[in-house]
Structure 1
Amino acid sequence: MDLAIIALSARPLVASAARAGLAALTFDLFADLDTCAHAARCVKVHKKHGFAFDGDDLIQALASLAPAGLPVVLGGGLEDEPDLMMRIAERNPILGNAPQTVRIIKDPQALAALCGHLAIPFPEVALGAPEGLSGPLIEKKIGGAGGGHIRRRAEGDLSPPWPEHYLQREVRGSPVSLLLLANGTESVVVGASRQWRAGDPDHPFRYGGAVGPIALPEPQGAAMREAAQRIAKACGLVGLISIDFMIGPDGWFLVEVNPRLGATLDIFDVDPLPPLLGLHLAACGGRIPPGLPQPSEAHAAGVIYADRDIIVPPGSWPEEVADRPAAGAAIARGAPVCTVRTQGPTLEIAEARLAARSRDVRAQLGLGEVAPAP
């Protein structure tokens, strides 16, 4: 066993590990067919409060199955629990950003202050009643991931946010994300992607998918790349990180820093790029390449969510589907079912193929049709 991987959904990380020739022990909430196929051993951890780890169950499973000292790589789902990250690190070293670093970078007031110091546009935030905040507001969970935790604040609502939540001025525009590889002092841009939402009435800002690589509009693109790299250097970030922006009529704004590997591995962990998890491990040791090649084609990936409670029917899955649940699995309304991945010579063709394949998969699962998200 070379390492352990912990994430709400470990499949993109363990697929990259397998591509790098690494044997991984994985802990996530799904243990789907693809994760188990790529992992040396695959463990399903109990859920808590919907889609969060049961910390005690995770620590017990890690202590039972992972030798002390086996390094751990963390994916999405732990940024809101730095104390759980510290419990993991007490026994198994984390190859990535330390819990203390994650706690600071996910503190909205600390990030706002840092952006202000570096003259990086960042929407105003508040931990209490929204005095002094103008315009439409959204409420977000501190350290939340996936967008399902974000709600739009009703106009005129002056109440404070829920505990462990904060308010942020909503910025209209197109969401884009930069994937960086950093070694604590330097960083190189892996690529940029455009993202979209797969919202429903309960989760209007839920992550829907991404397509890339995209070319950022200039001159904003140069300023955004510089801002991302300045943030990474100021915080001493290491490994693969993603930095989210909004580009709209009022310019561009940095809105989130994700100091870990994320969903855009589906876009960028492809030839001719080397396995990104291998690059992540090297960067944590201080080594990054001077530059990286770009994929020769556009890649798109979209998440399919259940619009009702379903039982996964028997049958074969299309080649483009990842995160495949086993036949007979019960999936609750609002939960992710699988991911569809496509590619093409242009962004438009990759997106059109994604929309078509997603319709086919939804029909196979007996789910209702939705408008194409991109």
Structure 2
Amino acid sequence: MGGDAILIAAQSGRALAEAARRAGLRPYVADLFGDADTLALAEAYRPLRGRFGATRLGGAGALAQIEALAALAGGRSLGLVLGSGFEGAPDLMARIAARHRLLGAAPETVAILKDPFGMAALCARLAIPHPAVTTGPVEEPGRYLLKRVGGSGGSHIRAATRGRAPTGHYFQARMPGRAFALNILADGRDLAVLALTEQWSLPSRLRPFRYAGAIARGRDAAPALQPGLVAAITAAIARLVAETGLRGLASADLLSDGARWWLTEINPRPGATLDILDRRGSSLISAHVAASAGRLVHLGPPPVDAAGAEICYGARDYHPVPRIDWPDHARDRPRAGTDVARDAPLCTLLATGADADAVKRMLRERAAHLQALLDQEETNEHDREVSERQRADGSPGGAPRR
């Protein structure tokens, strides 16, 4: 597949574009941000309209931008990979699929998996533990969460309220335990497990369950959950794959207290862990293309070392983002001069290490270093502006005027 074109549309297309380049493909990308590294990776780029975390990314305009990319690719590509932002709009996916070959889950599969009540019924039939869901009202709101249908990234999750859930939302029962994701490659009949990743959140005042990052343990590390429990989780997700015909890269979000587990949702697309999982002998994007055609490929052994990725959110409003020398471990780098609001995604930080604890420490250190870089550049920029004003006013020596 060397040199073949591949179309990508997502909230952020950088990780998919980078994975495509690792596979020797030429990515044509549409996304919300147009980050500097995305533009450097893409053969061509088109912006999408929408808001990060929305469920109908781009609306009807998304189809037009995908059409434009397909034309730039000469009308010849392996197909189209849809990342986050489309799972809440299977009808839009169907319109896109009528014009382009989708690489990954079919719209009808997404419609099944992202319908919270249909999913709950399916899990009950397949004997898969799943939290209760309702539109309410609920007698004890403290025992439920409010979620948006088709939402992603955790920013849409709130504590439940009294009364009925708003239109497009539902209540899901709270369950104990830590957050994990079973990352898989599926061919519509069976699956291969890529990793069980550990996830964590970074609450903000308005978004208490905001996704922060994930870690994949190294090959020889002790498992995060007991092997028997992982085997039960894997068997359950395999039943879902066979029932729904899920294909391509996907992940199953779950909670576990170490003895029990509950499936909270399926993400029927390449997810936020692509950066830390695409480190084997075989390319995950190539495997995604093959699985979309119903063929599971052997990926080779998992990496020896642990790896993690964490979203760095804006500590303040950056209007605009200062020009800095971005470190090599930073991805999704906003272009200097663009705006990033406080608490909006600023970039993604990557780290590898001997074990999960070492990776978490490195991510903390890298986040602190990046913040120091931003603070220093803002100070430098302020000093330059003051100096320029003083020169224009004829002030000697750059000293502040009294």
Q: Same fold (TM over 0.5)?
A: yes
Kept in 1: contact 2:282–2:299 (CA 8 A): no
Counterparts of 1:122 and 1:17 in 2: how far apart (Å)?
A: 34
Deviation at 1:280, TM superposition (A): 0.3
Deviation at 1:302, TM superposition (A): 0.4
**Can you list the C-alpha shifts for 1:206-258, whole angstroms capped at 9, x where unaligned?**
11000113724223222112112221122111011100110127721111101
Q: Secondary structure at the match of 2:324?
A: coil
Q: Which residue of 2 aligns with 1:226?
A: 235
Kept in 2: contact 1:273–1:295 (CA 8 A): no
Q: Secondary structure at the match of 1:66?
A: helix
Aligned match for 2:207, one of 195, 198, 203: 203
Aligned match for 1:259, one of 264, 268, 275: 268
Kept in 1: contact 2:53–2:151 (CA 8 A): no
Change (3 A) 1:167 1:295: same
TM-score (norm 1): 0.92
Change (3 A) 1:171 1:10: same
Q: Note the 1:179-190 alignment, pairs <5 A.
A: 179-190=183-194
Q: Which residue of 2 aligns with 1:361?
A: 370
Change (3 A) 1:50 1:97: closer
Kept in 2: contact 1:177–1:243 (CA 8 A): yes
Deviation at 1:90, TM superposition (A): 2.0
Q: Which residue of 2 aligns with 1:328?
A: 337
Aligned match for 1:46, one of 45, 49, 67: 49
Q: Which residue of 2 aligns with 1:344?
A: 353
**Can you list the C-alpha shifts for 1:186-206, whole angstroms capped at 9, x where unaligned?**
111011110000110101111
Aligned match for 2:180, one of 176, 181, 186: 176
Q: Note the 1:67-86 alignment, pairs <5 A.
A: 67=71, 70=77, 71-86=79-94
Change (3 A) 1:291 1:47: closer
Q: Which residue of 2 aligns with 1:112?
A: 120
Kept in 2: contact 1:197–1:206 (CA 8 A): yes
Letter in 1 for 2:31: D
Structure 2 spans left out of the alignment, 5+ residues = 377-402
Counterparts of 1:220 and 1:320 in 2: how far apart (Å)?
A: 34
Aligned match for 1:283, one of 274, 285, 291: 291
Letter in 1 for 2:256: I
Kept in 2: contact 1:213–1:294 (CA 8 A): no
Q: More helix by proportion, 1 or 2?
A: 2
Change (3 A) 1:112 1:265: same
Kept in 1: contact 2:32–2:49 (CA 8 A): yes
Deviation at 1:60, TM superposition (A): 2.0
Deviation at 1:92, TM superposition (A): 1.3
Counterparts of 1:319 and 1:23 in 2: how far apart (Å)?
A: 22
Letter in 2 for 1:145: S
Change (3 A) 1:349 1:216: closer
Letter in 1 for 2:5: D
Counterparts of 2:249 and 2:295 in 1: how far apart (Å)?
A: 12
Question: % of aligned pairs identical?
Answer: 38
Q: Secondary structure at the match of 1:53?
A: coil
Change (3 A) 1:305 1:119: same
Q: Which residue of 2 aligns with 1:141?
A: 148
Q: Which residue of 1 aligns with 2:166?
A: 162
Are positions 1:193 and 2:197 aligned together? Answer: yes
Counterparts of 2:258 and 2:292 in 1: how far apart (Å)?
A: 37
**Can you list the C-alpha shifts for 1:163-201, whole angstroms capped at 9, x where unaligned?**
111100011221000111111111110111100001101
Q: Secondary structure at the match of 2:102?
A: coil
Deviation at 1:292, TM superposition (A): 3.7
Counterparts of 2:53 and 2:143 in 1: how far apart (Å)?
A: 28
Kept in 2: contact 1:2–1:23 (CA 8 A): yes
Kept in 1: contact 2:5–2:76 (CA 8 A): no
Letter in 2 for 1:276: L
Counterparts of 1:283 and 1:88 in 2: how far apart (Å)?
A: 20
Q: Which residue of 1 aligns with 2:102?
A: 94
Q: Secondary structure at the match of 1:331?
A: coil
Deviation at 1:69, TM superposition (A): 6.9
Are positions 1:24 and 2:24 aligned together? Answer: no
Deviation at 1:319, TM superposition (A): 1.2
Change (3 A) 1:49 1:40: closer
Deviation at 1:150, TM superposition (A): 0.4
In terms of mean alpha carbon deviation, does 306-315 or 253-262 score higher?
Answer: 306-315
Q: Which residue of 2 aligns with 1:153?
A: 160
Counterparts of 2:158 and 2:306 in 1: how far apart (Å)?
A: 31
Letter in 2 for 1:358: A
Counterparts of 2:165 and 2:49 in 1: how far apart (Å)?
A: 28
Counterparts of 2:176 and 2:96 in 1: how far apart (Å)?
A: 38
Deviation at 1:5, TM superposition (A): 0.4
**Can you list the C-alpha shifts for 1:274-298, whole angstroms capped at 9, x where unaligned?**
2111100011112113564111110
TM-score (norm 2): 0.86
Counterparts of 1:34 and 1:213 in 2: how far apart (Å)?
A: 27
Change (3 A) 1:137 1:20: same
Deviation at 1:124, TM superposition (A): 0.2
Q: Secondary structure at the match of 1:330?
A: coil
Are positions 1:55 and 2:59 aligned together? Answer: yes
Kept in 2: contact 1:134–1:169 (CA 8 A): no
Q: Which residue of 2 aligns with 1:123?
A: 131
Q: Secondary structure at the match of 2:63?
A: helix
Q: CA RMSD in A?
A: 2.0
